[in-house]
Chain A
């Protein structure tokens, strides 16, 4: 079964600072990878998805970007964080022909 590693678990950053969140996946190859954001007390919003190395699609316009430098690595970045970027960021994975979507443990980002 697949395992999703996300780090860091918690991050406090000042406004205007850069961001890099990393997600790596084990136990599957050529997965679809996703970044979701969850605002406090709200549902899950899909930010980016990737079907392969170097292939990134954005679902919503925003201050963030994503990259997939390796098959099982997905990175969420920002050059300058905004207060509105605060939230709980979740990496998710769907492997092969499996329709099941699995989530990592998440990163709680606070921008102050």
Chain B
């Protein structure tokens, strides 16, 4: 089955700086890669996703890049703000009935 590795587990950046979170996956047939943001005590919220037929996708301050050859994808957040503080999860297709296999999460801390 799919295996998703996510790094780092904790990331602290100064407000206004950029943050990058990286994930690798094992199944070369995987073709869909979402990112979720989870605030304390809440369910994960889908913030951006990418399909394997594109290399990059942007939505305002967030972007995701995909390298199919190397089987890794990354989340980029520019001009970080305090409200970006949360746990971020990457995922790839895995599990039964088109479920997702998740990375272990990155706790992003934005320092004022």
* B-binding residues in A (CB < 8 A): 4, 6, 32, 34, 42-44, 46, 49-51, 57, 59, 90, 94, 99-106, 108
B97 touches A32 (CB 8 A): yes
Instruction: Indicate the size class of the contact surface on chain B.
Output: 20 to 34
Residues of chain A contacted by B100 (CB below 8 angstroms): 46, 101
State how many angstroms separate the Cβ of B31 from the closest Cβ of chain A: 9
Which one of B44, B49, B105 contacts A103 once the chains associate, using CB atoms below 8 Å? B44
Task: Say yes or no for B112: interface residue by CB 8 A criterion.
Answer: no
Question: A65 to B103, alpha carbons, bound, how many Å?
Answer: 25
B interface residue numbers (CB < 8 A to A): 32, 34, 36, 41-46, 49, 89, 91, 95-105
Contact of B99 among A42, A49, A100, A106 (CB under 8 A): A49
6 tightest CB-CB pairs across the interface, nearest first? A103-B43, A43-B104, A46-B95, A44-B102, A49-B97, A106-B43
Q: Smallest CB-CB separation from B105: which chain A residue?
A: A43
- Of A42, A57, A103, the residue contacting B96 (CB under 8 A) is A57
Please name all residues of chain B whose beta carbon is closer than 8 Å to the beta carbon of A90 when the two chains form the complex.
Answer: 43-44
Q: What is the chain B residue whose CB lies nearest that of A91?
A: B43
C-alpha gap A51/B95 in the complex (Å)? 13
Query: Taking A59-B96, A106-B43 as contacts, is the C-beta distance between A100 and B34 under 8 angstroms?
Result: yes
CB nearest to A94 among chain B residues: B98
Among B95, B103, B104, contact of A49 (Cβ-Cβ < 8 Å)? B95
